[in-house]
A and B are shown apart, each in its own frame.
Chain A
Amino acid sequence: MITELQKKLQSLKDSGKKFFIPYITAGYPSLAITEKLVISMEQAGADAIELGIPFSDPLADGPIIQLSSYEALLKGVTLSGIFEFVGNLRNKTKIPIIFMTYYNPVYKYGIEQFSITAEKYGVSGVIVPDLPPEEASLLIKSAKDHNLAVTFLFTPTSNEKRIKLITSKSTGFIYYVSLAGVTGTRDKLAISIQQKIEDARKFTDKPIAVGFGISTPMQAKEVAAFADGVIVGSAIVKKITENVDKPDIIENIKKFVMEISNEIHSLNKG
């Protein structure tokens, strides 16, 4: 079955348009601000939003997202709270929401229940960085039953056999992690991103997005030249941290997100 998210991203891809997915951590610095950020990022040109579910032990994340996660947990943010938050948000925006969550909160919540609740509140997809496809059969099955896209990640260290597995198991889109490392901002783009994406295209027509380490609007554009979509996380969360006490935080983030979005979408055909 093809999920709604995949339909949307696939049709963007097929019509020669690039998609942009900004990442923010849910509940950082508060759920009220998260709501405003989602809405303003949509206005700024985001095609979908990746919402980070805070976890106590985010071992795939660098210091920027670690800190945001830690602060959100101090505020008492929980997975079930975020589900309800997305449910409420659905009156205000229809932009696809993709959860980025470590596996334990999902496991504890109940895998089947997670997929059911995601459908109920209108969550479109999920990315679980510590869940390789080999261990994901329960999630894949229940997600399929509930129109939830499951995105797996491939990396510079994935060999052909693994890329094949990952592209075949992903629904929605496929995530290329552009470097061996954790999330964070980097001065330079990793090398051979283009080559690796071309390798993956041998196995799939599904949309491929690139993330990890993309820090500036120009880098985003560079990547968008050969990817279908671009994900920017730490650079935005870092901006949130820098603006955390400022009254114009929403405006400042919106402006930055718009700069990235414009660069990516400048490559749209037609």
Chain B
Amino acid sequence: MLPDKKGHYGIFGGKFVPETLMSALEILEQAYNKIKNTKEFKKEFNYYLKEYAGRPNPLYLAERFTKKLNGAKIYLKREDLNHTGAHKINNTLGQIILARYMGKTRIIAETGAGQHGVATATVSAMFGLKCVVYMGEEDIKRQELNVLRMKFLGTEVVPVSSGSKTLKDAMNEAIRDWVTNVEDTYYLIGSVAGPHPYPMIVRDFQSVIGKETKKQILDKEKRFPDYLVACVGGGSNAMGLFYPFLKTNIKFIGVEAAGHGIESGQHAATLSAGSPGILHGSLSYLLQDENGQIKIAHSISAGLDYPGVGPEHSYFKDINRADYVSITDNEALEAFHLLSQTEGIIPALESAHALAYVMKLAPQLSKDKIIVVCLSGRGDKDVDAVGRKIKNLY
């Protein structure tokens, strides 16, 4: 069972943080291990997943999308139907229960697309906890709608103007806040990234995606799918879908953002084009230059625009348990439109990357094959950005 005691997945993972946080991580791990298997915790977590987030969400057979691609049968795991519109709420519900159990009174988070920020603001409001979200200035511009949502929810949104002004810099700033306010503050990380035990905790909370999928596909098809496909920013929706199927031989495919194309150098394809290094508390694949400086990622999708990735994905890559591929901005936009017009579902730009890969994969497969795609979020937040990008089309 991974991670090992020190939080390693093979050579990846670990705890690379300032000493001030080492005790906090230890206490967090102890608290998590203590409650995770208790009846009370499971009951509370499941209660909110069901009554508040609206789970289980459907595993929907995308008939017209399938027909259009004329190959494997495609199911969509509808995380977009969760309260707040993405898979992020699964993790924030789990972690806020943990934070409350630990007696923390102040919640902080980083956000890229704003989906994790909104999900954190939401559960903080629901439990009456003070919440501060760090967000890069660049992302604030791209995801204005989510900034407003967070504000309506009573959260303080702190603009981050250092570095690339995106998710990586927001995470730096959140860690600086945590180092300063570690006594009363809970850092609610939004993906399977960061120092141990976060990648494990977030994986466990997001595993509800894969667990439900397992039941639902057996119900509908009496068998497991052949492929699981999900987009990878930090990697939480992908890990949540994959992990419960770890011991099968189903193919896992993680889809990263190739931005303007990997050759252009402007992309966020960390696993496809990066190399191992240390950022934000763990050893994992990174986009970096020959001097070990972190490179600025690029993607049309703010939620994938990150030069790092969760350590367990790095491990999956190295042991060949999963394949990691990449999709350009333009390919993602095409998928965004195709799904909207064949299924009446407007996907998040992040999820559109996974769909774009399915557009390549499905036609190559016979009709008796089954693909499950994680539709990690809905596209409402992207309406403005896509509208600006393609104003000539409509």
Contact = CB atoms under 8 A, between A and B. Distances in A.
B13 to A, nearest CB: 10
Given A78-B291, A103-B278, A59 B176 contact: yes
A104 B294 contact: yes
Given A60-B179, A104-B292, A166 B16 contact: no
A180 B20 contact: yes
Nearest to A165: B22
Given A59-B175, A135-B14, A153 B293 contact: no
**Of A60, A106, A158, A177, most B-chain CB atoms within 10 Å:** A60
Contacts, number: 114
A167 to B, nearest CB: 12
Given A57-B294, A105-B291, A153-B19, A180 B277 contact: no
Interface residues of A, number: 41
B23 A57 contact: no
A62 interface: yes
Interface in B1-31: 6, 14-24
Nearest to A136: B16
A195 interface: no
A235 to B, nearest CB: 18
B116 interface: no
Given A132-B15, A132-B17, A182-B179, A158 B22 contact: yes
B293 A130 contact: no
B385 to A, nearest CB: 26
B70 interface: no
Given A57-B172, A104-B278, A155 B294 contact: no
B182 A57 contact: no
B293 A73 contact: yes
A129 B22 CA distance: 12
Contacts of A180: 20, 179-183
A134 B15 CA distance: 8
Contacts of A103: 16, 278
A79 B289 CA distance: 12
A162 B180 contact: no
A62 B172 CA distance: 11
A60 to B, nearest CB: 5
A79 B292 contact: yes
Contacts of B277: 104, 107-108
B387 interface: no
A21 B181 CA distance: 27
B263 interface: no
B15 A57 contact: no
A146 B292 CA distance: 22
Interface string A104-142: 111111000000000000000000011110110000000
A154 interface: yes
B293 A56 contact: yes
Interface in A48-84: 55-60, 62, 66, 70, 73, 78-80
Interface string B163-182: 10000110010011001111
Contacts of A132: 15-17, 19, 22
Given A105-B292, A132-B15, A181-B179, A57 B22 contact: no
A162 B23 contact: yes
A157 B20 CA distance: 6
A153 B169 CA distance: 24
Contact of B16 (A56, A70, A108, A130): A130
A157 B180 CA distance: 11
B292 A109 contact: yes
A30 interface: no
Contact of B18 (A57, A79, A130, A159): A130
B278 A60 contact: no
B221 interface: no
B280 interface: yes
Interface string B239-251: 0000000000000
Nearest to B286: A104
Contacts of A107: 276-278, 283, 292
A173 interface: no
A70 B163 CA distance: 8
**Of A58, A108, A156, most B-chain CB atoms within 10 Å:** A108
Contacts of A157: 19-24, 182
B19 A154 contact: yes
Interface in B21-68: 21-24
B176 A182 contact: yes
Contacts of A166: 19
Interface string B89-103: 000000000000000
B288 interface: yes
A175 B324 CA distance: 42
19 contacts: A55-B293, A70-B162, A104-B278, A107-B278, A108-B290, A108-B291, A109-B291, A132-B17, A132-B22, A134-B6, A152-B19, A154-B19, A157-B20, A157-B182, A158-B22, A177-B18, A180-B183, A181-B20, A181-B179
Given A78-B291, A104-B278, 11 more contacts: A56-B293, A57-B163, A57-B294, A59-B280, A62-B176, A104-B279, A104-B292, A132-B22, A157-B23, A166-B19, A182-B179
